[in-house]
Structures are given as structure tokens and as C-alpha cells.
Structure 1
Amino acid sequence: MSNPKVLLTIVGPTAIGKTALAIKLANHFDTEIISADSRQFFKEMRIGTAVPTPEELAAAPHHFIQHLSVQDPYSVGDFERDALALLEELYKEHKVVVMAGGSGLYVDAVTRGLDSFPEVSEGVRTALTEQLEHEGIIALQEELLAKDPEYYKQVDLQNPHRLIRALEVIRSSGNSFSSYRNQAPKPRDFQTIKIGLTADRAVIYDRINQRVDLMMQEGLLHEVKGLLSYKELNALQTVGYRELIGHLETDIPLQDAVDAIKQNTRRFAKRQLTWLRKDPQIHWFDYQTPADTIIAEIQAKNDALLKRD
């Protein structure tokens, strides 16, 4: 490849420091950042999604940050299309582009392409929605565990939209949802270098707990109060929001809701790592590794790709 185009992709569990590293890499390569964090897309959800600070946003050009409303329908397929179109434009000016985010499916959509799933039989989604209303989310969780234990370990079990999506494929096809995932990558005209940040589990959990406390200090409860009228939307089926909605609409004490946010975020981080550790292409680094060290190690392995002009 005479003029290789490179997508430096930073992955890792929530609260591990992906944004800070992305900015340092973007500054080093004089390039721009694509966010692959699906909840940071929404302008009404700033505090609970840990959107980069104004100082961080000013430190390097960012894309796909708070560019949508929670009322805007936007799928991972939409993101794949829009991100690829943006990359085509960015590569006219930059040899390297940085992408960072904790939404593994959105990262995979750009780097590998989306998997193809079978048509959903008529009435299946309606039946699942009615089952959710009458029997609760536990019934869907139990069915997924019985029919696709692999995906059960990875999915956000508190997100009814994700559960329904998996179960409608299972019921329509008779096959597990997992069997349609991880298909052959689609061709891309850029090379992907994946950088993973990690830490001991106790460190990750402590960082999560501290971040949740900071979110509460910054006014997350007030932010959620302003979004109550949108509580049924998929965007609000997000850790941090659904627990505080539960507090506001029931007799759940605030501290219990905050503790639930921490617990569910820790579970989310565990699922993120389960997803990511299956990818042999990720170069893993401790979260405290200096950016210069990461750049040097990656550059040594990919010298032809990462030489700056």
C-alpha cells in the first residue's frame, strides 16, 4: 500500500481513560477523533454519558459528540454509514484518524462491518413487547439464557431493546443470536490498529465508583429529571439514567439508586472486557502507560503505516 490510511482505534472498559489517550494520539498525528460511544451522540445526555469536557473537545477535533437528540432515531447501521463517509473525507487531509469508544458493536461496525441477520417473522416483535409489559424483563432474560447463553453473558440484561432484538432473531430463525455474529469482515480501504486500555478489576471498579460520585455531584439527577418525558426511548435505557428514573418514579431511595448505578456500570465494564478479549488484534496496555510509550510500541510494529508525513 503506497499511501496507507490508518484508523487508530482505542477500546477498553468504561472510565479507563480512552478519551485522554485519544486526544494525545490525535495531537501527535495532527488528526481528528471519531467517537464510537453510542450514548455520547445525544445532546440531552451530557453528565451521565461522561461526554468530553469543553477543554477536551477544544484539544482536538471531535466527531459524533452530542450531534443528535434523544428523539432522533439512529441505529448502529446509521453510524456505520456516517462514520465511513466521514472517514473518506478525513483521509483526504490525514493519513491517520483516531476512533475511541466503549460501544463494541459500534467500533466493530466501522472496522469490520455489521453482521447480516435473518428477517424477523411478522408479529414476533409485538409478541415480545407484550410479554415484556405483562411478565417483565426477567421473563426475557430467562428465555435468552436458555436459548443463547453466550450472548446472555455479553448483552446489557437491563436493556429491554437489546433483549427483544436478540429474541426476535432467535424466535424467527430457530438459531441463536450469537450464531449470526462475528461473520467475515467486510473490506475496508484503511488499516485498523487497535489499542486496548485495561487495569486490574479492583482499579476499574474503583474508577467507576469515583466517576459515578462525580456525575452525581455535577447534577446527574437534575439531568435525568429533565428527561423523564422521554423515559421510554431507547437512549434512556442507559445505565445511570434508568436507575435514577426508578428513584424518581418509585420509592427507591436515592442512595440505593446510586449504588445500583455503580453496580450496573461495573457489570457493563465486565461485559465490555468479555467482548474485547475475544479480539486477538487488540494491543493491550495498562491504563497508566504513557502515551509516548504506546505510540512508540505501536509505531515499531507498524512502522510503514504510522510514519508521519
Structure 2
Amino acid sequence: MVQNIALNVAANYIMTNYLISIVGPTAIGKTNLSIALAQHFHTEIISADSRQFFKEMQIGTAAPNQEELQAAPHHFIHHKSIFEDYNVGAFEKDALNTLENLFKKNRLAIMVGGSGLYVDAVTKGLDDFPEIDPSVRNNLNIILDKDGLEPLKKQLKELDINTYKTIALENPHRVMRALEVCIGSGKPYSSFINKKKDSRNFKTLSIGLTAEREVIYQRINERVDLMVDMGLLEEAKRLYPNKELNSLNTVGYKELFKYFEGEWTLDFAISEIKKNSRRFAKRQLTWFKKTDDISWFDYKTHVAEIINAITEKIERDEAS
């Protein structure tokens, strides 16, 4: 019954384009759900995971394996090199162009990923920031390397208390991005946020997967152990000579780099990967919980129930 309803929706009743956005913490099962939905609705998947873009980073980013990639067409998986400059602005443009082509074939498309900023870039659009002289970021990098993150956090608090209270302060990239806008423009970073953005020619249906915190943490720990068994250490060794690249300032790699440098034991580095992955999952949930229109499901929910919920939501939307 669900199958017939879904096909009718996809084939006949949809009067607009729909992007089904799957979000949730790392290791919760988003990839499996995205493939199941893509197969059911006969459509394709866009990845919004900012680290799965890079072809050199396969094991540590938990990117879809070959079997999963063959199960449904994917976009933005291993399409860039760590040596290429690729940011959220470029991704927004590329993803919208890809969606435009996908919607010519099917009025449903799937997007999956845990990078909240990249998801929002596609579904809502980016805030419009001024061009900043690169020397500002260079000076901030010097401070970070010499004195750590604390003085940068203190400076941000002085220049833009609103941003200081809302961003992930333990994320150096976020802190430096906000600071460089404050310094380079002479205006608070927060003054550029939430301005009117370009409208989208599709509607977004957001599906969230979640679980009790203990379950999420257990799944993360098990995934890290599996990554190590699959060869994460060897992958990190190959990437170590390029450790200064921003793309490699990533959980799963930066901890092993400290092991290679003799600062940590291997066991401690692996435990730090697990801890930092758990912290990342917590930040993901905090980000997505701020979005009101996400339909949340327990990670064990049968895919047929989620398909039925999507179908019913589209039918209600089309009937209104």
C-alpha cells in the first residue's frame, strides 16, 4: 500500500519539487535510510557531509562504501581533493545546480549529511558576508598557532557578544571565521546573519534520526573501532605529511597525527577520537534541534513508516 501511494505521489500528484533532507548525529544510520528512500522513490542522493567530499579521506569520514554507492546514485562523494579549495559557498552553488538537473527527471531528491551549515546552505541559503582581506585570517592563524584558541575567543566576546553566545566556541574554524568578519568589516559577524536570502524552487521535507544519548555514544564507539579495523591508521599515515591542510583538521585524523608525533599513545589517540566524535554528535543535535520543521524518528523506525510519513506530508501539502 505504501509503495503504491508513494509512486502515485512521485508520478502524478506532486505539483512542486521536494528535497527530502535526512539529518541527525554521526553514526545514527542516515546513509542506510537515504539509500532506502532513494531506491523507493527512484531518485538520487546529494551528500552534505563536508568531509566526505574529499577522495583521500574515505575510512575516517565513514563515507559510503562501493556497495552503498552502487545501491543508489550519489553526488558529492569523493569528488574533490584535499588540495583543492572547496567551501560551503561553492557547495551551495554546485548542489543547487545538481538539484536543478535532478528535478528534471524526478520531483523528489534526497540529501543526507551531518554538516549543519552545509545542509542549511542548500535548504535556506547562506548569509551574505563581505570580502575579507586574507591577511586578517593569516594573522588569526598566527595567534592560534602561538597562543591557542582562548585569546581568539576572548577577542570575539569583546567584538560580538551575540555570536560568542551562539557558535561552537571549541571549533577554531567557526571562531576565526566570525572574528575575521568582525575585524575585516568593522561590524559584528551577527549583523550579517538572517538577512533576506534567495528563495528556493523546491520545498524541503526534513527527516531526523535520533536515539537515546547512550545509544548514540555506543554506536560512535563501535564505528571508531570498525574504522581502526578497516585501516584508519594507515590512511592517516598517508595523509600526515599534509596535516596542516584545513580539511585534515578533522576528528579521526588530527588525533592520530598526535600519535605519529609521539605526543600520545595509540590507545589514547583512539579514545580521543571517540570522545571528540561524541562531542561532535552533541553539537550536531544542538544545531538541528534549533530547526522547528524536522520530523524526528527513532533510529530503529522501520523505513516503511518513514516513507508513509513523507508520502502523507506531500499529499497534505499538495491538497492545501
Query: Shared fold by TM > 0.5?
Result: yes
Matched, 1:247 2:259: yes
* TM superposition score normalised by structure 2: 0.89
Q: Structure 1 residue 250: deviation in Å?
A: 2.7
What is the rounded CA distance, in whole Å, between the counterparts of 1:218 and 1:248 in structure 2?
Answer: 18
Q: CA RMSD in A?
A: 2.2
Q: Structure 1 residue 140: deviation in Å?
A: 2.4
Aligned partner of 1:28 in structure 2 is 40
Residue 263 of structure 2 aligns to a residue whose secondary structure is coil
CA contact under 8 A between 2:14 and 2:314: conserved in structure 1?
Answer: no
1:155 maps to which of 156, 163, 168 = 168
Distance 1:151 1:106, change over 3 A: farther
Report 1:157-176 matches (<5 A): 157-158=170-171, 160-173=172-185, 176=188
Matched, 1:298 2:310: yes
Matched, 1:120 2:132: yes
What is the rounded CA distance, in whole Å, between the counterparts of 1:286 and 1:243 in structure 2?
Answer: 31
Number of aligned pairs?
A: 306
What is the rounded CA distance, in whole Å, between the counterparts of 1:306 and 1:209 in structure 2?
Answer: 43
The one-letter amino acid of 2:170's match is L
CA contact under 8 A between 1:170 and 1:176: conserved in structure 2?
Answer: yes
Aligned partner of 2:51 in structure 1 is 39
* TM superposition score normalised by structure 1: 0.92
Q: Structure 1 residue 178: deviation in Å?
A: 4.1
Structure 1, unaligned stretches of length 5 or more?
A: none
CA contact under 8 A between 2:167 and 2:174: conserved in structure 1?
Answer: no
Structure 2, unaligned stretches of length 5 or more?
A: 1-12
CA contact under 8 A between 1:40 and 1:66: conserved in structure 2?
Answer: yes
Query: Higher mean Cα deviation, 240-249 or 295-304?
Result: 295-304
Residue 35 of structure 2 aligns to a residue whose secondary structure is helix
Q: Per-residue CA shift, 1:64-120, capped at 9, x if unaligned?
A: 000111001101111111111111111111110000000111111111111112443
The one-letter amino acid of 1:188's match is R
The one-letter amino acid of 1:157's match is E
Aligned partner of 2:5 in structure 1 is none
What is the rounded CA distance, in whole Å, between the counterparts of 1:288 and 1:91 in structure 2?
Answer: 30
Query: Higher mean Cα deviation, 35-44 or 181-190?
Result: 181-190
What is the rounded CA distance, in whole Å, between the counterparts of 1:279 and 1:37 in structure 2?
Answer: 18
CA contact under 8 A between 1:39 and 1:45: conserved in structure 2?
Answer: yes
Distance 1:14 1:179, change over 3 A: farther
Aligned partner of 2:27 in structure 1 is 15
Report 1:1-309 matches (<5 A): 3-120=15-132, 123-144=135-156, 147-148=160-161, 154-155=167-168, 157-158=170-171, 160-173=172-185, 176-303=188-315
Aligned partner of 2:4 in structure 1 is none
What is the rounded CA distance, in whole Å, between the counterparts of 1:52 and 1:2 in structure 2?
Answer: 30
What is the rounded CA distance, in whole Å, between the counterparts of 2:125 and 2:114 in structure 1?
Answer: 17
The one-letter amino acid of 2:217's match is Y
Instruction: State the identity %.
Output: 54
